[in-house]
Amino acid sequence: MFEKTRETIEAYKARDPAARSAFEILMLYPGPRAERAYRRAHWWWVHGHPTIARMISERAKRRTGIEIHPGATIGRRLVIDHGTGIVIGETAELGDDVLLYQGVTLGGTGKDHGKRHPTVGNNVLIGAGAKLLGPFTVGDNARIAAGAVVLSAVPPDSTAVGVPARVVRIAGERVNYAGEIDQISVTDPVKAELCALRARVDELSQQIKTQKGE
């Protein structure tokens, strides 16, 4: 338990420039408080006491603004930045070193049964307000841009942007550390394609004018 607590503190210090002390992180940050409540609720959940588990999780939601279903599976060193409005569904799975910003939803589409929520790999960043809906997988080292709506799988070492989200490779290079990633300055593939089409139209228009001797 103490090792996990130490890891949590170090993860917040590494990824949140506003973090000043271990006391502040553990006692005042809503993320660690919500996660501690989740760990207790999850224990009751897996031991066959879902009502007690839900009571703990509902109480934590009212106190922190973060809703984590006790049936979810969460790895180590989860960092929740601010956290207000985060929702993590019952069958969601999160790997190690995941970074979530406020307003993130790991939810379902309402049409699936059984496994209904996303599986998020290791070292993944999910930007503010992003919505991941459905039982797909987000690969290791991926990032989801702020405001994206993701409805299908995201490969490892890539980024998803837009509504609905489209997946792009980050300059062909692997993302090594989620805390170093700018969640806003990402390439929009639709915008890039439209710019390329506009440039081509301008080029053809110029060729036509040249042929007409204008």
* 28: nearest Cα among 54, 63, 57, 58: 63
Give the predicted TM-score (pTM) of the model: 0.77
pLDDT at 95: 94
- Residue 203 included in any domain: no
Mean pLDDT of 191-204: 81
- Residue 106 included in any domain: yes
pLDDT at 177: 46
Is the model's pLDDT at 184 over the cut of 70?
no
Give the separation between CA 145 and CA 27, rounded to whole angstroms: 29
Mean pLDDT of 108-113: 80
Give the separation between CA 210 and CA 123, rounded to whole angstroms: 54
Structural domain total, the chain: 1
Of 39-48, 124-133, 171-180, 201-210, the range with the lowest mean pLDDT is 171-180
Side-chain-side CA neighbours of 87 within 13 Å: the count stands at 12
Of 5-9, 16-20, 95-99, the range with the lowest mean pLDDT is 16-20
- Residue 180 included in any domain: yes
Give the separation between CA 140 and CA 82, rounded to whole angstroms: 23
pLDDT at 148: 93
- Residue 208 included in any domain: no
- Residue 142 included in any domain: yes
Return the residue matching tokens 């993590």.
Answer: 88
User: Which whole-number Å values give the CA distances from 19 to 28, 36, 83, 87, 112, in the listed order?
Assistant: 10, 18, 14, 23, 39
- Residue 26 included in any domain: yes
Any idea what the CATH number is for the domain that residue 152 is in?
Answer: 2.160.10.10
pLDDT at 105: 96
- Residue 213 included in any domain: no
Domain residue limits at 132: 2-187
Return the residue matching tokens 């949590």.
Answer: 8
Q: Which residues contact 169 (CB under 8 A, 6 or more apart)?
A: 157, 158, 159
pLDDT at 1: 64
- Residue 63 included in any domain: yes
